[in-house]
A = this chain, B = another copy of it.
């Protein structure tokens, strides 16, 4: 294992405070020391000059559908239902297993270039995504999406059992960089009996779930009408939230819903670019934080929001909340950073990631602060949130291994992935329209 010393680097510490000219020693997969002085007994195999660089804990994307990169830019400026029924589900009905590999590989390139080392993915043919994670050196929590009905081969052949076998096949794989869980789509797609089967299976396997929850007023109204309970209360009553739960969106919540999410220690994934671009409800983020609900940040799929850039998601989260709350002091920088790194890592189950501290996993992003948009460097943490872009990301490391160095991806063949993904994407959207299901909130 390599012993690396990064010298003279500025960093944002676990308290969100900027520390200038620090040394970070990395021994194998973990951080061995952080401080002003070089560690006395540390013999480095290699030294990296951190002058003019800012080290941050790397970012974790808590909700995405990576292979939907293939649909980027194919469903613009459309109302939500047309976006879904006429575009997304049409392309997905033509999806073949190997497409998912190339779509996810494209996503991995893009995420690493924006400083993200881990992602929670929720999609189909997840062995393909797991393969990408293994090859890329990233970390992931992977769930095979199940719509609540076992289907025959003519409709994809996805059964709950398929998704359980996936959980077992890949859990702990790639030196522990891959974690798995079950992926029931949502309480509006899955009937109560289906959700009970998920709970039993998850308990048997000893894993959690990743699902979509309470995305719209229509979903809440339907749930109240059908079950007499909000989507959150409905899941709680079924025992679903007793599982370790990563719930994307949680956009429409009553006071009781917030209490349930806090009590059940549900991890919420907040994906503001999608809410804005598809004109969906904006979740009550401050109420969640005030109630001590743990919130991480995500991009959602690139069909809905165009990209996979957590730097921008942090920024949008801050901007939108300051505006929505009418308080320029709301959602301070350290909170945004923590949601994008530490909370994201926790949401994926990588509890030793997400901070620059002794013993933590060596998951780092190094940003070049020489760009004129960072100058004058009054507050590097602020610029990292409000002025940075992926072009500033110069090195990215996961478990002590460089995934990108000097802006070159080291684990993925970017040229080949770009060409193959684009070829397949053009095939998908050129396929005949074949509606597979209609959205019913």
Contacts and interface: CB of A to CB of B under 8 A. Distances in A.
Interface in A82-98: 83
A429 B379 CA distance: 12
Interface in A312-346: 316, 318-320, 322-323, 325-330, 332-333
Interface in A275-309: 275-279, 282, 305-309
B391 A72 contact: no
A76 interface: yes
B322 A278 contact: yes
Nearest to A276: B319
Chain A at the B interface: SS class: helix
A382 B307 CA distance: 11
A54 to B, nearest CB: 12
A319 B73 contact: no
Contacts of A422: 375-377
A429 B378 CA distance: 9
Contact of A389 (B109, B308, B322, B389): B389
A279 B328 contact: yes
Contacts of A372: 106, 109-110, 113, 414, 417-418
Contact of A73 (B73, B80, B322, B376): B376
A386 B76 CA distance: 10
Contacts of A390: 373, 389, 391
Contact of A328 (B71, B277, B382): B277
A421 interface: yes
Contacts of A421: 375-376
Contacts of A55: none
A275 B387 CA distance: 16
Interface in A55-111: 69-74, 76-80, 83, 106, 109-110
A275 B407 CA distance: 34
Contact of A330 (B83, B279, B391): B279
A4 interface: no
B72 A383 contact: yes
A24 to B, nearest CB: 23
Interface string A263-279: 00000000001011111
B376 A279 contact: no
Contacts of A318: 277
A392 interface: yes
A389 B386 contact: no
Given A113-B373, A376-B422, A418-B375, A328 B387 contact: no
Interface of A: 69-74, 76-80, 83, 106, 109-110, 113-114, 273, 275-279, 282, 305-309, 316, 318-320, 322-323, 325-330, 332-333, 370-373, 375-380, 382-383, 386-387, 389-392, 414, 417-418, 421-422, 425-426, 429
| Across the A-B interface, the 6 shortest Cβ-Cβ residue pairs | A391-B391, A376-B425, A306-B386, A73-B379, A389-B389, A276-B319
Given A76-B333, A110-B373, 6 more contacts: A70-B376, A72-B378, A307-B387, A372-B418, A375-B422, A377-B422
15 contacts: A73-B379, A73-B383, A80-B328, A113-B371, A275-B323, A276-B322, A277-B319, A277-B322, A278-B322, A279-B330, A306-B383, A306-B387, A373-B390, A375-B425, A389-B391
